Amino acid sequence: MDSLLIKGGAPLHGEVTISGAKNAVLPIMAATLLTPEACTIRRVPNLSDVKFMGEILTSLGAEVKCGENALTIRAEKIRGVGDYDLVRKMRGSICILGPLLARLRKARVSMPGGCVIGSRPIDLHLKGLQALGTKISFANGYVVASAPKLIGADLFLGGRAGPTVLGTANVMMAAVLADGVTIIESAACEPEVVDLANFLNAMGAKIAGAGSPTVTVTGVKALHGAEHEVIPDRIEAATFAIAAAATDGEVNILGARPDHMHAVLDKLREARVRIERNGPALTVRRGGRLKPVDITTLPYAGFPTDVQAQMMALMALTPGISIITERIFESRFMHVSELARLGADIAIEGPSAIVKGGKPLSGAPVMASDLRASAALVIAGLTARGATMVKRIYHLDRGYENIDAKLRGLGARIERVEE
């Protein structure tokens, strides 16, 4: 199993190019199941999650051809069973349910796996599909869905922690081939949902309102093949921006979409990080002594839960007290104990973490618990005195394309080692 060995203390300098968004490409790959014609997807990141999704599509009967940062997928003849051995590896695989149901009118998909960051039920997915006329049952760990006919409906997808991104994607993909009009209220507004809608519209779907809380889908008889370029990964861009500030370096981030990152950039500026638009790049560097900030994670366009851990690492370095409140996932503080091993002073009080920052960190072996926790530990390791060994980095490989190579290109002393 690979680990990352980091020797801290080197400020990051140079430029880095942001890869395609993991959270956009997975449902877009699933959407290719909606047509028997070939689809080409570009700016596809080289991630283990993308590999797993390709394997899932292949197991369903699709032909998946890989090029350089591109995929061509043709789902001419498919079957409707998503096997446990593949689907269990990542939560994003549940987004095959909607397109399988739309295309075949039946599907049998294993309950998904993924990072252990708290309860993430799929009840809203199933509620939305049931509103379209789907019968749902459970057997041997599988969701069994059938709908002789999908019929458009008005439905509400709001949940305890806000809208569901993958649930919105699943219902949207089912609704594109339903009879009539579907109106999704309390739809997720994330850029990744907009990207999926743009791809579906390129395939011949009729979707309006993506990016707003109300999405209207007018069903069509069939979809055709299309080409699409995935949006840049806003979470990766945020991670590199935070790493630049944490190491007191200066990094030009190429390909980022600032319009997808308003909440993160606002908090970084509040923390006295200087961010400037420089042509196609965002230039990030400190603007003086860092200032503590309070953060609450919220659905888009609020501060993303996927950047909470990375900001906690930055606040651990910042003199003063910061309060970070997690409103999306109830167990997303598993990185706190590992940051404490590096010397961070963090206390958990209910849904909040109180960070008493400013103490220097020192290297130690740490264990990654999930994807974004891994990124936080890497950022902390880049600033710590001595060597930090981040174990279980298969989490990182799920969502960051060649992060160790990209960091080395910025001057980080980091290497992948096999234990």
Helix 371-383 / helix 308-316 crossing angle, nearest 10 deg: 20
Q: Which two tokens stand for residue 404?
A: 């160790």
Q: Which residues are CB-neighbours of 44 under 8 A, at least 6 positions away?
A: 20, 25, 50, 69, 70, 71, 230
Residue pLDDT, tens place only, 339-395 = 999 999 999 999 999 999 999 999 999 999 899 999 999 999 999 999 999 999 999
Tens digits of per-residue pLDDT, 198-225?
999 999 999 999 999 999 999 999 999 9
pTM, entire model: 0.96
Sign of CA dihedral 398, 399, 402, 408: negative
Give the pLDDT of residue 113.
53
Query: What is the torsional sign of CA 77, 82, 84, 86?
Result: positive
Question: Is the predicted pLDDT of residue 140 greater than 90, yes or no?
Answer: no
pLDDT bucket at 117, cuts 50 / 70 / 90? very low
Q: Residue 42, SS3?
A: strand
Q: What is the pLDDT of residues 279-289, one digit of tens each?
A: 888 999 999 99
pLDDT, residue 278, reads: 82
pLDDT at 280 (0 to 100)? 80
Listed residue (225, 191, 235, 188) closest to 205, CA to CA: 225
Collapsed DSSP state (helix, strand, coil) of residue 278: strand
For the sheet with 413-418, list strands across it.
Answer: 365-367, 387-391, 2-7, 413-418
Closest CA to 154 of 71, 82, 217: 217
Whether the CB-CB separation of 99 and 30 falls below 8 Å is answered with yes
- Whether pLDDT at 84 is above 80: no
Position 402 pLDDT exceeds 90: yes
Average the pLDDT over 132-161 and give the result.
Answer: 93
pLDDT of res. 351: 95
pLDDT computed for residue 124 by the predictor: 92
Specify the 3-state DSSP secondary structure of 88: coil
Position 118 confidence tier, pLDDT thresholds 50, 70, 90: very low
For each of the domains in the chain, give its residue range(s) and CATH number, in order of start. Answer: 2-19+232-418 (3.65.10.10), 22-229 (3.65.10.10)
Mean pLDDT value across residues 77-90: 79
Tokens of 175: 């609704």
- Residue 31, pLDDT above cutoff 90: yes
CB atoms < 10 A from the CB of 291, how many?
15
pLDDT at residue 90 tops 90:
no
Residue where the block lists tokens 């900001």: 311
In angstroms, the CA 354 to CA 332 distance is 14
CA angle (179, 185, 188) in 5-degree steps:
105
Residue 192, token pair as written in the block: 């990744």
- How far, in whole angstroms, is CA 154 from its chain's centroid? 28
296 neighbors 159 (Cβ within 8 angstroms):
no
Taking the CA atoms of residue 325, residue 327, residue 333 and residue 339 in that order, the dihedral angle to the nearest 10 degrees is -40
Query: Percent of the chain beyond pLDDT 70?
Result: 98
Biggest CA pair distance of the chain: 63
CA distance 152 to 306: 33
Give the pairing type, strands 135-139 and 142-146. antiparallel
Provide the mean pLDDT of the chain.
Answer: 94
Band (pLDDT 50/70/90 cuts) for residue 257 is very high
DSSP state string for 175-219: HTTSBSEEEEET----HHHHHHHHHHHHTT-EEE-BTBSEEEEE-
- The residues near 384 (Cβ < 8 Å, ≥ 6 apart) are 6, 8, 9, 342, 343, 360, 361, 362, 363, 364
Q: What is the distance between the alpha carbons of residues 186 and 345, in angstroms, rounded to a whole number?
A: 38
Distances (CA, A) of 45 to 14, 92, 356, 390, 400: 21, 15, 36, 22, 8
Give residue 161's pLDDT band: very low, low, confident or very high (50, 70, 90). Answer: confident
What is the model's pLDDT at position 114? 45
To the query of whether residue 115 is one of the catalytic residues in this protein, the response is: yes
pLDDT at position 119 is 44
Lowest-confidence segment of 14-23, 38-47, 109-118 by average pLDDT: 109-118
Q: CA Rg, the chain, in Å?
A: 21
Distance CA 316, CA 376 (A): 11
Residue pair 28/166 in contact by the 8 Å Cβ criterion: no
